[in-house]
Amino acid sequence: MSDAPYILVVDDDPAMLALHEVTLRGAGYASKCVLNGTDALADVEWCRPDVVILDINMPGMDGLEVLARIRERFTMLELPVVMVTGRVEPEYMIDALGSGANDYVLKAAPREVLLAKLRIQLELIKQVGAPSRRPAEMEVAEQDARFCAGFLTVVPKSVNHCPDCNAPMPSPGWPGIAGSSYGWLGRTLSGKYKLDRFLGRGIAAQVYRARDIRLDRLLAVKLVDYRTSDFASLVNRERLEAEALAMAKIESPHVVKIVEVLELRDGMFALVMDFVRGQTLRQLLGASRPSYDETLDLGIQIARGLAAAHAVGLVHRDVKPANVMVSELEGGGRFAHLVDFGIVRPAAGDPVSTRFVVGTPTYMSPEQACGLDEVDGRLDQYSLGCLMYEMVCGRPPFDDHDPNVVLRRQVLEQPKPMGKYRRGVPEALESLVARMLEKRAEERFATLEIFIRQAIAEHEKRHD
């Protein structure tokens, strides 16, 4: 891993950013340049610079507001901030220093002045032993790293076409990763997993495709900062590794395997998983509705994955289209893979204690919506029923822009018959889904194995 200090530069002037980049690179620093406060805070959260260089006058969120947001999380020794601005008025300097800036430099000052100020801050960090803000297992990407804006894939600077989507290089050249919203692209975790494509982002997580440098295979890496989520008090490396160990015992090809758990820093982890080629069920449903046979087939596959997880004491608790990957089989047909299991693993033989409401309201069981302390695999069954209902009808049983309304309807209302939204729904399919959507858990199938047997029998009957 590179030992060069990592400097984040925030300024809305591209010319000034270019000047900073040249200056910092010439001094041997790794740097990233962003044009606004929102991207700056994202980089601070995910990439942990050693020092931030921050302008004051910026549209939207100005530098003083960015500084205040940084100081809510980090002390002056944990993350030094040097204001570099054209504001010469004393009141600006007083406001900045009073708000927690470590130093104040005018843009008109010689570049050597800024470099001297940076050296002072880095030396202070070293002398007091303040922890590096950069993750221990993260390597800074190459300074000239580029990416394809259409496919969000790392592209070598000299390559004329994107290696993934074959798009031609735009006339200005490939955009640089520095200054983009995809700051982890091109970085390497633990010296072996190089992140080469951005796949998606959630509230507390980002997902990247990665290449295992040693074994030359593709993997998926989910970067999770649990301090930004409700799970903050529940997660540590030991708990995640215990869950990974439990998931490794799941005997099902319909569950994506966790390869390794990396602790990047306190509260932030990387979950390295098998990479699935294909699309999410959400993307599939956005393009078309599956046939009745396809709905049964995919429902059976997802149920098999869930049943295998239940057998080793894991409950998913967030079954939804975005957490099902669907790949196309060479001989025809589709294959479903469950991803993104929850973080709370129950003791063997005990029910799961959720401690708070976990899940997505549109697919959440009544017992989850009510915040019940003890739940079991039948809540996953209800969520699968919601998912199959949507595959048939093109809409979930209950939906509303207000999640609280959805939760109340999950508890109090019966879903409309699927025949209301689509003609010719097989009676047996309607009956299977209706039972999975019973409000009382004891009125659903006792286990998903029972559902699987009945669904297979119906599937075979339709093909006799």
Q: Do 259 and 404 have their domain in common? A: no
The residue from 274, 296, 324 where one domain ends is 274
Please list, in sequence order, all residues whose beta carbon lies within 8 angstroms of the beta carbon of residue 25, skipping any fewer than 6 positions away. 31, 143
Of 76, 74, 59, residue with least CA distance to 11: 59
The answer to whether residue 420 is domain-embedded is yes
C-alpha span between 83 and 53 (Å, rounded): 6
Q: Which residues contact 165 (CB under 8 A, 6 or more apart)?
A: 148, 150, 151, 153
Which pLDDT value is given to residue 257? 87
Q: Are residues 239 and 299 located together in one domain of the fold? A: no
Q: Are 44 and 76 in contact (CB under 8 A)?
A: no
Triad 129, 133, 139: Cα angle to 5°: 120
Asked if residue 1 belongs to a domain, the reply is no
So what's the pLDDT on residue 239? 62
111 and 143 both lie in a single domain: no
Same domain, 429 and 396: yes
Six-digit token string for 62: 């100005």
Question: Is there a single domain that holds both residue 185 and residue 269?
Answer: yes
Give the C-alpha separation, 197 to 207, whole Å.
9
The CATH number of whichever domain residue 81 belongs to comes to 3.40.50.2300
Question: Final residue of a domain: which of 104, 133, 162?
Answer: 133
Instruction: For residue 196, give the CATH number of its domain.
Output: 3.30.200.20
Pairing of strands 6-10, 30-34: parallel
**Predicted local confidence at residue 354, as pLDDT:** 37
pLDDT on residue 265: 62
Please report, for residues 88, 96, 104, 123, 256, the alpha-carbon distance to residue 91 in angstroms, rounded to integers and kept in the order given: 9, 9, 12, 28, 56
- The helix/strand/coil state of 397 is coil
Q: Which of 232, 259, 274 is the last residue of a domain?
A: 274
CATH of the domain at 286: 1.10.510.10
Assess if residue 424 is contained within a domain: yes
51: in domain: yes
Q: Give yes or no: residues 262 and 284 share one domain.
A: no
Q: Which SS3 state, helix, strand or coil, does residue 439 take?
A: coil
- Res 44: pLDDT: 82
User: For position 135, what pLDDT does the model report?
Assistant: 47
Bridge partners, residue 155, by sequence: 146
Q: Do 250 and 298 lie in a common domain? A: no
Where in the sequence numbering do the catalytic residues fall?
Answer: 318
**Nearest Cα residue to 196 out of 187, 205, 169, 32:** 187
Q: Is residue 433 part of a domain?
A: yes
Q: How many domains does the chain have?
A: 3
- 283 within 8 A of 272, measured Cβ to Cβ: no
Same domain, 18 and 147: no
Residue 76, both tokens: 């002056």
Q: What is the pLDDT of residue 60?
A: 87
Task: List CB contacts of 332: < 8 A, sequence separation 6 or more.
Answer: none
Give the position of tokens 């390869």. 259
Closest among 221, 313, 325, 248 to 282, alpha carbons compared: 325
Based on the fold, state whether residues 13 and 71 are members of the same structural domain: yes
CA dihedral 419, 424, 427, 433 (to 10 degrees): -50
Rg (CA), the chain: 26
The whole domain housing 29 covers 6-133
- pTM here? 0.67
Tens place of pLDDT for every residue, the chain, 464 residues? 346 788 999 999 989 998 998 999 899 998 888 899 888 887 787 677 899 999 999 988 899 999 999 998 888 988 999 999 999 999 999 999 999 999 999 999 999 999 999 999 999 888 776 555 444 445 555 555 788 888 888 887 778 888 888 889 888 888 877 667 777 888 888 888 999 999 887 666 788 999 998 888 999 998 877 655 455 555 555 666 666 777 778 889 999 988 888 877 656 788 899 999 999 999 999 998 999 999 999 999 999 999 999 998 888 888 999 999 999 998 889 999 998 765 434 433 333 333 344 578 999 999 988 888 678 899 999 999 999 999 999 999 999 999 999 999 999 999 999 999 999 999 999 999 999 999 999 999 999 999 999 999 988 887 76
338 burial class (0-12, 13-18, 19+ CB within 10 angstroms)?
Answer: buried
Q: Say whether both 410 and 338 belong to one domain.
A: yes
The residue whose two tokens read 């490794």 is 248
Question: Residue 297: what pLDDT?
Answer: 95
Instruction: Specify the pLDDT at position 73.
Output: 82
Rounded CA separation 231/371 (Å):
15
Q: Are 197 and 153 in contact (CB under 8 A)?
A: yes
Q: Do 84 and 207 sit in the same domain of this protein?
A: no
Q: How far apart are CA 324 and CA 339, in angstroms?
A: 6
Same domain, 154 and 219: yes
